[in-house]
C-alpha cells in the first residue's frame, strides 16, 4: 500500500509541477515578461510540496525530524553535503538578488559568482540538499524523491531558458554556449 501511495503522490507532484512551470509560469512570462506574486507563490508551493513528500520515506511523522543514522561517518557525509548545498543555494540566490531569483525582475543577464560556472547554481545547490537528505535516510523512496526533484526543476529551468532567450536573444545564446546548464563537464 505504501508503494502505491508513493507512486500516486509522486505522479501528482510531477503533474502539478508541469502545470505550474510549463503552463502557468510559461504563460505569465510570455504575457508579462516577469512573474506575478501569485506565480512565484505557485513555484514556492511546488518546492514546499516536494519537501513534504520526503515524509513518505523519512522514518518520522510530519513535522518531526527523524533520528540521525547511528554511523557517525554516514551522518557527517549526509550533513556535509546538505550544508554545502544550503550555502551554495542561498549564496547563489542572494548574489543574483531575490526578486530576480524568483522571476519577478528582469534587468540584465547575471554572469558573476557561481553563475560563471553554472547557469543554475541555485538548482545545483539545492540538489545537494536533496541528495544529502536522501543519503541521511536512504531508501528507494529517497531515490524517487531525488528523481522527482530532477524532473520538476528541469521543467522550471526549460521555461526560464525560453524566457531568457526571448528577453536577451543572442547575449543569452552566447552565455549558454559558454556556461553549462547545470554542472561543468570535466576538461580532458
Alpha-carbon gap, residue 126 to 39, rounded angstroms: 20
Residues 150/128, Cβ–Cβ less than 8 Å: no
**Of residues 113 and 57, more confidently modeled:** 113
Q: Does residue 188 have a pLDDT over 50?
A: no
Instruction: Kindly state the average pLDDT of the residues 146-166.
Output: 96
Which residues have C-beta within 8 Å of that of residue 171, sequence separation ≥ 6?
Answer: 109
Instruction: Please give the pLDDT value at position 44.
Output: 93
The answer for 68, left when phi > 0, alpha when psi is -120 to 50, beta otherwise, is beta
pLDDT attached to residue 48 = 93
What's the confidence (pLDDT) of residue 101?
Answer: 67
Condensed to tens digits (0 to 9), the pLDDT of residues 79-112 reads 999 999 999 999 998 888 766 766 666 778 888 8
Q: How many CB atoms lie within 10 A of CB 111?
A: 12
The pLDDT value given to residue 34: 86
| Helices of type H across the chain | 2-18, 26-32, 37-53, 72-96, 98-101, 121-136, 140-168, 170-178
- At the second CATH level, the architecture of 2-178 is Up-down Bundle (1.20)
Helix axes 2-18, 37-53, angle to 10 degrees: 160
Per-residue pLDDT, 141: 87
Q: Of 44, 4, 9, 38, which is closest to residue 24 (Cα–Cα)?
A: 38
Rounded to two decimals, what is the model's pTM?
0.89
**C-alpha cell recorded at residue 110:** 547575471
Q: What is the pLDDT of residue 159?
A: 96
Q: What's the confidence (pLDDT) of residue 64? A: 83
Amino acid at each position: 500500500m505504501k508503494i502505491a501511495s508513493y507512486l500516486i503522490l509522486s505522479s501528482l507532484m510531477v503533474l502539478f509541477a508541469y502545470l505550474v512551470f510549463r503552463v502557468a509560469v510559461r504563460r505569465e512570462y510570455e504575457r508579462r515578461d516577469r512573474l506575478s506574486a501569485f506565480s512565484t507563490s505557485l513555484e514556492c508551493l511546488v518546492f514546499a510540496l516536494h519537501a513534504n513528500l520526503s515524509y513518505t520515506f523519512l522514518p518520522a511523522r510530519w513535522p518531526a525530524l527523524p533520528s540521525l543514522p547511528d554511523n557517525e561517518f554516514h551522518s557527517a557525509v549526509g550533513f556535509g553535503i546538505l550544508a554545502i548545498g544550503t550555502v551554495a543555494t542561498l549564496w547563489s540566490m542572494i548574489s543574483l538578488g531575490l526578486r530576480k531569483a524568483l522571476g519577478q525582475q528582469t534587468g540584465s543577464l547575471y554572469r558573476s559568482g557561481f553563475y560563471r560556472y553554472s547557469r543554475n547554481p541555485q538548482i545545483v545547490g539545492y540538489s545537494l540538499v536533496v541528495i544529502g537528505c536522501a543519503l541521511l535516510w536512504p531508501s528507494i523512496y529517497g531515490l524517487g524523491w531525488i528523481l522527482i526533484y530532477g524532473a520538476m526543476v528541469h521543467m522550471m529551468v526549460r521555461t526560464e531558458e525560453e524566457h531568457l532567450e526571448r528577453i536577451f536573444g543572442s547575449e543569452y545564446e552566447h552565455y549558454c554556449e559558454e556556461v553549462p546548464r547545470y554542472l561543468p563537464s570535466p576538461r580532458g
